[in-house]
Copies of this chain bind each other. A is one copy, B any other.
């Protein structure tokens, strides 16, 4: 891992900047963008934009701003998205299938997205051997083999809470390094494995804080 000391709060914003640059490259002829405009479009203050990017090099020029194509390429390299990264998903239930469809559409819309869902896993015998959106569904006993064969680095976990840790252990043993967890449970993983939790119910509870509770009518 490079730039070990950079906080995850910074890393979290890089894909936002990248998306703004991708959109700009598509919709306009502009060659450069100011930190001000990049900030407005990403929803981040201009000083923070400059500070975030300065962690990785001197990308901007005084009075000119950032060269769009160059910064886009650099951000892709920093995020390991300069070549296709193969991704797996485990748990082909309704959420898993929906995310698979969502992801495949997202990928078709933007080929430079560079995250490609290439393998699905499930423990349901009626699903194994089948496919969703053309992506094959393997049994859990194939995890080790497929992770190696397909060079899988990241797995999206959409299994029920009670089986999540067991399934994750198998992926960690097989050498996976990143986990996007949708199961409503805190997963244990070695420090070398990065876990991002996306728990919809926790996000809703957080939103509830900002919503004064007045009863209807």
Chain A contacts to B: CB under 8 angstroms: 1, 8, 11-12, 14-16, 18-19, 41-43, 78-83, 85-87, 93-95, 97-99, 101-103, 106, 113, 115, 148-151, 153-154, 156, 177-180, 184, 186, 194, 196, 198, 200-217
CB-based contact A208/B101 at 8 Å: no
A1 to B178, CA, bound (A): 37
A14 to B18, CA, bound (A): 31
Q: Residue among A41, A94, A214 with the most chain B CB within 10 A? A: A94
A93 to B201, CA, bound (A): 19
| A14-B209, A80-B211, A211-B153 known; A200 vs B99 contact (CB < 8 Å) | yes
Q: Which B residues lie within 8 Å of A80 (CB)?
A: 208-209, 211-213
CB-based contact A216/B15 at 8 Å: no
| A177-B211, A208-B115 known; A94 vs B85 contact (CB < 8 Å) | no
CB-based contact A98/B106 at 8 Å: no
| A150-B216, A205-B15 known; A94 vs B101 contact (CB < 8 Å) | yes
Q: Which B residues lie within 8 Å of A153 (CB)?
A: 208, 211, 213
CB-based contact B15/A151 at 8 Å: no
CB-based contact B205/A79 at 8 Å: yes
CB distance from A200 to the nearest CB of B (A): 6
CB-based contact A203/B186 at 8 Å: no
Smallest CB-CB separation from A155: which chain B residue? B207
Smallest CB-CB separation from A81: which chain B residue? B208
Smallest CB-CB separation from A149: which chain B residue? B216
CB distance from A89 to the nearest CB of B (A): 11
CB distance from A36 to the nearest CB of B (A): 16
CB distance from A18 to the nearest CB of B (A): 7
CB distance from A215 to the nearest CB of B (A): 7
Smallest CB-CB separation from A41: which chain B residue? B186
A209 to B153, CA, bound (A): 11
Given contacts A18-B205, A79-B206, 18 further A-B contacts (CB under 8 A): A1-B210, A1-B212, A15-B206, A79-B209, A80-B209, A81-B208, A94-B97, A98-B99, A99-B200, A103-B201, A115-B204, A115-B205, A151-B214, A151-B216, A154-B207, A154-B208, A156-B200, A178-B210
